[in-house]
Amino acid sequence: MQNIYGITKTNLEEYFINNNEKKFRATQIYEWIYRKNVKSFDEMSNINKDLINKLKKDFYFGNIDIIKKQEDKLVKKYLFSLSDGNKIESVVMYHDYGISICISSQIGCNMGCAFCESGRLKKVRNLQTSEMVLQVLKVQNDIKERISHIVIMGIGEPFDNYNNLLDFIKIVNNPYGIEIGSRHITVSTSGIVPKIYDFADQNLGVNLAISLHAPNDLLRSKIMKINKVYKIDDIIKAVKYYISKTNRRVTFEYIMLDGINDNKENAIELAKLIKGINSYVNIIPYNETNNLEFKRSSTLKISKFYDILKKENINVTIRKEFGSKVSGACGQLRAENQGGV
């Protein structure tokens, strides 16, 4: 049996065709699930009984449970329990342009970035497509408002769960599904270069964010293990290909670590690296945790770094910081509830 929340509309159409049914049945099912929010095939009044019985044999309505929620001004952080007892996180943020959710794509992470709380708890498994979709649905149901933007930037490396990621995007982007516009979906990667090329060829039209965090290989390799496999030059070439194929601007994420990557020379080198690329830099003040030795750059250092990039005509923003009453670092809430701290 397959979790109904994990099947794309195209695959559902194929299912109906293979069972001698009209493919418009897939549209009906999608509308019941994602528009009318039903939790049972028996509630689908325009589907005949024989087909309902067939659907019950082949699909089930899976679930994930909210077991903890932290709230502060303009932010809510959710801890979910999955059917196998594992736990994942999502974060909801309220912006002037809408409501965004940052979802997880894996249980734990194998990328091993030195500054990342998620990486302390190693990868257990990939999330199923349905478990990614349900993060969005459960939060929408909890807040009683529509999510307008999705960022796949929570626990895990999305490109390390590639096929499930693609199906997730197709489901949430489908006009009969959750109906999030492609320009409102962002995938963040630490830089798995072959997947960047393949993702560009998928022509999904979504946004790509690169967790860069350093302007040269020597520094990046010290804080991000993946850089020992995929160097910065390889990432830049892949980014240029992505832009040429999608005509979408790419984000370079840059976490400011005190005394590590936040000096004037780093800023100048970063500007030189990305100059001329259709991109912008998202400067991220670091969320300190008790488990890692890295410290947050001072507000003054962040401001100076920003000013240097601006002077070099680089598009740059400083990520808005939300409430301090939630366990801010990605993976921190899960760690606190795993006995891992």
Q: Which active-site residues does the annotation give?
A: 89, 330
As a whole-number percent, the residues of the chain with pLDDT over 90 amount to 88
What pLDDT is stored for residue 320 in this prediction?
Answer: 82
Q: Which of these three, 23, 45, 60, is where a domain ends?
A: 60
Quickly state the pLDDT bin for 190 (edges 50, 70, 90): very high
Residue 265: closest CA among 218, 223, 232, 224: 218
- The parent domain of residue 13 ranges over 2-60
Q: Do both 17 and 129 map to the same domain? A: no
Q: What is the pLDDT of residues 159-169, one digit of tens each?
A: 999 999 999 99
For the residues 70-74, what does the mean pLDDT come to?
Answer: 91
Tell me whether residue 341 is in a domain.
no
Which residues does 20 contact at the CB level (< 8 Å), separation at least 6? none
Residue 80 has pLDDT above 50, yes or no: yes
Supply the CATH number for residue 45's domain.
1.10.150.530
Domain boundary among 16, 38, 60: 60
Query: Are 40 and 147 part of one and the same domain?
Result: no
**Residue 290: band (very low, low, confident or very high) from pLDDT cuts 50, 70, 90:** confident
In tens, the pLDDT along 131-149 reads 999 999 999 999 999 999 9
Q: Is residue 179 part of a domain?
A: yes
Q: Look at residue 137 and tell me if it is in a domain.
A: yes
* Whether residues 147 and 34 fall in one domain: no
pLDDT of residue 341: 29
Q: Look at the chain and report how many structural domains it folds into.
A: 2
pTM of model > 0.95: no
Same domain as 252, residue 216: yes
Span 263-270, average pLDDT: 98
On whether both 276 and 196 belong to a single domain, the answer is yes
Establish if 141 belongs to a structural domain: yes
d(CA 341, CA 324): 19
User: Residue 122's pLDDT band (boundaries 50, 70, 90)?
Assistant: confident
Question: Is residue 173 over pLDDT 50?
Answer: yes
Kindly tell me if the per-residue pLDDT of 334 is higher than 60.
no
Domain contains 24: yes
What was the pLDDT predicted at 73? 87
Q: Are residues 77 and 99 in contact, defined by beta-carbon separation less than 8 angstroms?
A: no
51 is a domain residue: yes
Which residues make Cβ contacts (< 8 Å) with residue 22, sequence separation at least 6?
16
CATH number, domain containing residue 260: 3.20.20.70
Question: CA nearest 335: which of 88, 66, 134?
Answer: 88
Q: What is the pLDDT of residue 17?
A: 98
Has residue 166 been placed in a domain?
Answer: yes
CA distances from 28 to 12, 31, 146, 175, 269 (A): 11, 5, 21, 12, 54
Same-domain status, 186 and 245: yes
Q: Is the pLDDT of residue 336 over 70?
A: no
